[in-house]
């Protein structure tokens, strides 16, 4: 392996990082929770438009520094979502071929985004086969299977080096409540939550970490019951988060609590949050908002003031033809208006979260 090429590749990625200013932290006060300020870290402002830009950068650096990538050799990833888009971007920076192994049902919009950055899309009929097919392609082509679901939690330096947790605390340093009472996030691979949970403990902060899992995902069940073999026959209805099986990068021991959220409520909260911010956000941001409201209720009940930080994982423009299209929502059986009104009542009038959500806190 050429150490010179590796050194150049690392320098290219680090230069790209220097060109990209850190993502914004947006405060939002909700009338029902005086004395508690919510902050939304806008990860959609990354060059590739999502939180997964951080993960892709870390995965490439991890692979380079572990001697896994070679000049001209292809990079393969099992992903149909934002991770594949971001990895295609970094592969193009390094002049490496990139192949995303995806279910055949992946939307043309996602395929187009991957193609835009020079990636290829390899479609398989069985969604569960994306892992084995990625490994097969890597062996056949002499490439490297990036395997985000295994390496996400170890690829990021959780102690510092401008990981997302360090960034949050630096940006919060001049706020009225600089140490958040809660940081709320939803697991895709679990790597971001692992980084946040470890950093909080390493820095000895009092912050608690809440993970919010979508309806069709096993992370909550694993956290509650400890059964790592639990699986589901279908994938998550909220793109970017939730998994049908427990992934290696999900580390429940660094979490303080979890919340399970039905998909319809995630979408309703997404639409409410989009109205409050004046722009579209992704459905995982709606999931996160419900976690923020649940944490705020507990703080309020305890007479506690302070801050809560969560993530805007990606832009809602990616879902213009699905989550933001009335015909699509109707076809999926969603009637969001009453639920959105309840989210608004909770956030603005103190009506309280529905019992169906409160009951899933553990």
DSSP string for 71-99: TT--EEEE-SSHHHHHHHHHHHHHT--EE
The rounded Cα 195 to chain-centroid distance in angstroms is 12
Q: Rounded distance, CA 222 to CA 245, Å?
A: 9
Check: CB of residue 179 under 8 Å from CB of residue 138: no
Q: Where are the alpha helices (DSSP H) in the chain?
A: 3-19, 52-65, 82-94, 108-116, 130-141, 148-155, 164-172, 191-202, 219-225, 263-277, 283-301, 326-331, 337-349, 355-358
Overall size of the chain counted in residues = 362
Q: What is the pTM of this model?
A: 0.94
Q: Rounded distance, CA 224 to CA 140, Å?
A: 40
The structure tokens listed for 328 are: 């699509």
Per-residue model confidence (pLDDT) at position 197: 98
Give CA torsion, residues 224, 229, 231, 237, to 10 deg: 50
Check: CB of residue 339 under 8 Å from CB of residue 265: yes
Coil, helix or strand at residue 291: helix
Q: Rounded distance, CA 347 to CA 360, Å?
A: 19
Using alpha carbons, select from 269, 299, 240, 259 the residue that is nearest to residue 36.
299
The residues facing 27 across adjacent strands are 39
Q: Rounded distance, CA 336 to CA 329, Å?
A: 8
Q: Rounded distance, CA 236 to CA 283, Å?
A: 11
Check: CB of residue 298 under 8 Å from CB of residue 327: no
Q: Where are the alpha helices (DSSP H) in 188-336?
A: 191-202, 219-225, 263-277, 283-301, 326-331
Per-residue model confidence (pLDDT) at position 341: 97
Per-residue pLDDT in tens (0 to 9) along the chain, 362 residues: 689 999 999 999 999 998 887 899 999 999 999 999 999 999 999 999 999 999 999 999 999 999 999 999 999 999 878 899 999 999 999 999 999 999 887 778 788 999 999 999 999 988 888 999 999 999 999 999 999 999 999 998 888 777 999 999 999 999 999 999 999 999 999 999 999 999 999 999 999 999 999 999 999 999 999 999 999 988 899 998 999 999 999 999 999 999 999 999 999 999 999 999 999 999 999 999 999 999 999 999 999 999 999 999 999 998 999 999 999 999 999 999 999 999 999 999 999 988 878 889 99
Q: Which residues contact 82 (CB under 8 A, 6 or more apart)?
A: 48, 49, 50, 51, 52, 240, 313, 314
The structure tokens listed for 201 are: 């403990």
Using alpha carbons, select from 34, 116, 140, 128 the residue that is nearest to residue 78.
128
Give one word for 97, left, alpha or beta, with left for phi > 0 and alpha for psi -120 to 50.
beta
Q: Rounded distance, CA 126 to CA 144, Å?
A: 22
Q: Rounded distance, CA 261 to CA 64, Å?
A: 37
């Amino acid at each position: 392996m050429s150490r010179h090429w590796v050194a150049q590749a690392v320098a290219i990625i680090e230069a790209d990082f220097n060109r990209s200013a850190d993502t914004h932290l947006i405060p939002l006060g909700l009338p029902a929770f005086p004395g508690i300020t919510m902050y939304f870290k806008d990860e959609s402002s990354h060059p590739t438009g999502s939180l997964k830009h951080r993960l892709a950068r870390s995965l490439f650096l991890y692979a380079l520094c572990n001697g896994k990538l070679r000049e001209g050799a292809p990079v393969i990833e099992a992903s149909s979502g934002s991770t594949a888009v971001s990895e295609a971007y970094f592969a193009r920076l390094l002049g490496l071929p990139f192949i995303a192994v995806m279910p055949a049902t992946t939307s043309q919009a996602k395929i187009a985004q991957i193609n835009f950055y020079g990636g290829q899309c390899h479609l398989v009929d069985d969604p569960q086969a994306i892992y084995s097919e990625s490994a097969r392609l890597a062996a056949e082509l002499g490439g490297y299977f990036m395997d985000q679901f295994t390496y996400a939690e170890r690829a990021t330096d959780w102690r510092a080096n401008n990981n997302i947790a360090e960034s949050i605390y630096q940006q919060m340093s001049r706020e009225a409540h600089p140490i958040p009472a809660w940081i709320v996030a939803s697991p895709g691979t679990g790597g971001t939550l692992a980084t946040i949970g470890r950093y909080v403990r390493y820095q000895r902060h009092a912050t608690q970490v809440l993970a919010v899992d979508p309806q069709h995902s096993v992370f909550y069940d694993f956290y509650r019951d400890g059964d790592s073999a639990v699986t589901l026959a279908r994938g998550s209805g909220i793109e970017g988060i939730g998994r049908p099986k427990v992934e290696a990068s999900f580390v429940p021991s660094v979490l303080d609590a979890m919340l399970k959220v039905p998909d319809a409520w995630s979408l309703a909260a997404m639409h409410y949050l989009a109205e409050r911010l004046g722009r579209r956000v992704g459905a995982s941001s709606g999931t996160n908002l419900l976690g923020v409201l649940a944490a705020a209720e507990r703080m309020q009940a305890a007479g506690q003031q302070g801050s809560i930080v969560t993530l805007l994982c990606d832009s809602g423009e990616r879902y213009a033809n699905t989550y933001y299209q009335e015909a699509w929502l109707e076809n999926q059986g969603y009637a969001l208006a009453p639920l959105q009104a309840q989210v608004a009542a909770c956030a603005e009038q103190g009506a309280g979260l529905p019992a169906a959500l409160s009951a899933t806190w553990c």
